[in-house]
Structure 1
């Protein structure tokens, strides 16, 4: 969930990156840092109250590429100074999303019951791109609770192609088209 603080931090970084024409390297640094932050031990280290801020800053700066813009490195240090370490993941995710939107891409969440191959994800992205007339960037995840099928979320739109969604749609259709005896 994106908090107002995470939204504000990420928006400020993207706006500064646009002004300085460093949006692409900032996005790449955010992606690399986000991949590292997926490790729970690292997140625990960065959010531990007994770890000095300087130690947290040093670790963060080692996790980004060496050619990372100074503005992004300073931004990471500011997050630590403001004690917002817990927001690092949503901030990095939103920096990436805002950058993609800035480049005219649609952010679409794809949820499947089983892992999809890269080819399957690519076909879905291409199909959605043709449908919407814009390049689509997929955020993919597996939800093992689904019995089968996929769910696509785009802004406020939900396309439920899951097995449960199809059964519910069929049930609703039958209910609406069946006259009940009085």
Structure 2
């Protein structure tokens, strides 16, 4: 937990600086695309992630890897940003930085990211109905759903957005019922 707080604290100014750069050079679309592709690359290539995160590997070696493997795939601004992270020994916070950058871009574009945990698969039609309802509730221009399954919920779904949690699960309703029964029995 402390590591996540530290990572978030370190990531925020770097993400803000990257967004400021993107805005000043009218390259938000290109850099955001690079950030998404970079996250995909790091998630699918664990050896690259481990190499960049390894504190024993010299900064020069990390710079070489970035120049040879990542720079040809991204715009110049993104490449330079990654090299600065390597120089400042912050490349190991890249995942947190990219996550925070995307949050900032989504805020700028009025796009909300909503985590939905469901007890069963949610159909396309149900997803669209949920998106429509959430757009009305949040006044967001667009809603991006991150859906995960958890059969322990017994039914229904759990919605998380920012600091708000909406529990529409059978498990949650049973807990509420148990609390209510406990308070009634105490009287």
Normalised-by-shorter TM-score class: 0.7 to 0.9
Q: Show the counterpart of 1:90.
A: 96
Q: Show the counterpart of 1:25.
A: 30
Query: Aligned with 2:158: secondary structure?
Result: strand
Aligned pair 1:155/2:126, yes or no? no
Residues paired across the two proteins, number: 179
Q: Show the counterpart of 1:38.
A: 43
Deviation at 1:4, TM superposition (A): 0.8
Q: CA RMSD in A?
A: 2.6
Q: Show the counterpart of 2:8.
A: 3
Counterparts of 2:102 and 2:131, CA distance in 1? 18
Rate the CA distance shift 1:138–1:64 in 2: closer, same or farther, 3 A: farther
Q: Show the counterpart of 1:139.
A: 146
Query: Aligned with 1:16: secondary structure?
Result: helix
Matches within 5 A, 1:88-127: 88-114=94-120, 116=122, 120-127=126-133
CA offsets per residue over residues 72-104 of structure 1, 9 Å max, x none? 111111111111122111111111111111011
Aligned pair 1:172/2:183, yes or no? no
Deviation at 1:126, TM superposition (A): 2.7
Deviation at 1:161, TM superposition (A): 2.0
- Specify every segment of 5 or more residues in structure 2 that has no aligned partner in the other structure, as ranges: none
The structure carrying a bigger helix percent of its residues is: 2
Deviation at 1:27, TM superposition (A): 0.8
- Specify every segment of 5 or more residues in structure 1 that has no aligned partner in the other structure, as ranges: none
- TM-score scaled to structure 2, two decimals? 0.79
- TM-score scaled to structure 1, two decimals? 0.81
